[in-house]
Amino acid sequence: MRNVTIAAFCALASIAFTTPSWAQDKAQDISQQQLMVDRFAAQPMQLLDVRSSDEYQQGHIKGAMNISFDVLADHLEQLDKDRPIVVYCRSGRRAGKAIDTLLQNGFTQVYHLEGDMNGWQEQKLPQISQP
């Protein structure tokens, strides 16, 4: 019985610590490399940075639109429901909430950037800073 309890605890802990938000299960992940290739497409995917304005100005991915996750529902008209959209934040929590908002509002082609901005920076990929 004790082994079953330990196994159940380990299974629940692995789920809790590997998925920052349940909403991300509904969006397909896209790798940093896939996103880099997409940036050169004739019509690249929409790229949505849901961090704060201050975080965005300190460094973001070229072509990203900044709408903070907590006001996203009020600014959905700025996004095209008919085009794929990639969402990222710093580490995944806010992106998960934003993905949930998008899905609840009829967006169907929603992707989550693997590793978010932390992963992008760890890979030393290009970013733009604004004063």
Residue with tokens 């100005």: 57
Catalytic residue among 89, 99, 102, 113: 89
Decide if 105 contacts 34 (C-beta within 8 A): no
Radius of gyration of the chain (CA): 16
Is residue 10 annotated as a catalytic residue, yes or no?
A: no
Q: Which tokens sit at 5?
A: 């309890």
Active site residues per annotation: 89
